Structure 1
Amino acid sequence: MMIDRLITTFDTGLRTLFAQPVASRARPDGNTEEAPLSTAEKNQAAALMRINHVGEVCAQALYSGQAFVSRDATIVNALKQAATEETDHLAWCEGRIHELGGRKSLLNPLWYVGSFGLGTVAGLLGDRWNLGFLAETEKQVEAHLASHLEVLSPADHKTRKIVAQMQADEREHADTAHQLGGVALPIPVQFGMKFASKIMTKTAYYV
């Protein structure tokens, strides 16, 4: 029923923005000792993990918007599975941010609302485009995480292990979307998504 979907969707938003996320999997860095890092290295790692945390907030919103309008049970289940793993990422990022002495983005509610709207629009375009949007999003996030691994301190094994596992999960989500019938998005749309992502990452690094 529509009322049930509305309640579930609203609850997802509240939990993403205001509740303590609980991971279903152990943190990838759980058995890794904290390395001595300089203040600059900690600050950079915290800022990068804040960006990643924003990305996970956006992912929850995107999946929620897409699932809200999709009528294909297989696709809805795939979105829910991806959202569960993104909740792991959300918890891992938040925990690591606190360990590094950082904070979450002050603009998370704004990121969530905007991403939910994009997810809803993608879902309304039809399942093939919905899945294509999901695949392209995950592809760009995977590349984005790879760039973080290039600049994180080599000594920061804890942060690097978290980012590496997130990257592997995003790649799997993209592959699943393609297997379910997702189509490649038009080049202008891909560039538009990259441009919006750059604005988000540049802003989230500081705010």
Structure 2
Amino acid sequence: MLKLPPLPSLDALICEFDTALRTLAAPAQSVREHPDRHVDDVELSAADKQHAAGLMRVNHCGEVCAQALYQGQALTARDPAAREALREAAHEEVEHLAWTEQRLAELGSHKSLLNPLWYAGSLAIGVTAGLIGDKWNLGFLAETERQVGAHLQSHLQTLPEADQKSRAIVAQMYTDEMSHAEKAIELGAAELPASVKAVMQGSSKVMTSLSYRV
């Protein structure tokens, strides 16, 4: 029989609601130095700037989804170590939000208008993953980070060569995401079925395609 985690307190729910508002509406802050701080900006062609902005919007949207996903997973995690790993990953994702948000502004572009929709869907997925059990919860974290890492690697291949600022951000994000995946595996993450991975990949393609443009 499925053992449900304890229900969160009213104070905890208020804190989670505050997290959602800050993710969607408030400027994100980074404790660490922005990876591109010491990289000189250069003038990009209109096409290169538009493409770089599209990719950074996808990355920002991905971090919005990650915040909601890990928030939902942490809410329903039973093991304190798993819950802490999820919250730690979410904390670093806030820094990724700050980096991509600033770079979008520098490129003269905007965040995805669909972020509230992606946030709500990711939160629901995270809660569901947590309810299934901690090893699957951690498995979902590991697989999410692996798929995000693959996206980031593809962005490094297609970002304009001259856009070293965006490249520096994406490279550090990749390092962080792989670290989260390794941490989840160390804590006992289960390997997800191929069918679940395929659904995750399909959902990701929809999100990236839309957020690149909108």
Question: Normalising by structure 2, what TM-score?
Answer: 0.95
Query: In the alignment, does 2:201 pair up with 1:204?
Result: no
Query: In the alignment, does 2:49 pair up with 1:42?
Result: yes
1:5 positional shift: 2.0
Gaps of 5+ in 1: none
Residue 141 of structure 2 is matched in structure 1 by 134
Where do 4+ consecutive residues of structure 1 move more than 6 Å? none
1:75 positional shift: 1.2
1:3 positional shift: 1.3
Report Cα offsets for 1:70-129 as digits up to 9, x if no partner. Answer: 122111111111111100000000000000011000010000000000000000000000
Q: Select the residue among 77, 83, 103 that pairs with 1:96.
A: 103
1:128-207 → structure 2 map (5 Å cutoff): 128-207=135-214
Q: What SS does the corresponding residue of 2:98 show, helix, strand or coil?
A: helix
Residue 116 of structure 2 is matched in structure 1 by 109
1:36 positional shift: 2.1
Residue 76 of structure 2 is matched in structure 1 by 69
Between stretches 4-13 and 59-68, larger displacement belongs to 4-13
Question: Normalising by structure 1, what TM-score?
Answer: 0.98
Report Cα offsets for 1:119-157 as digits up to 9, x if no partner. Answer: 000000000000000000000000000000000011111
Residue 56 of structure 1 is matched in structure 2 by 63
1:8 positional shift: 1.5
Gaps of 5+ in 2: 1-7
Distance, in Å, in 2 between the alignment partners of 1:38 and 1:66 is: 42
Distance, in Å, in 1 between the alignment partners of 2:191 and 2:120 is: 25
**Count of residues paired in the alignment:** 207
Overall identity of the aligned pairs, in %: 56
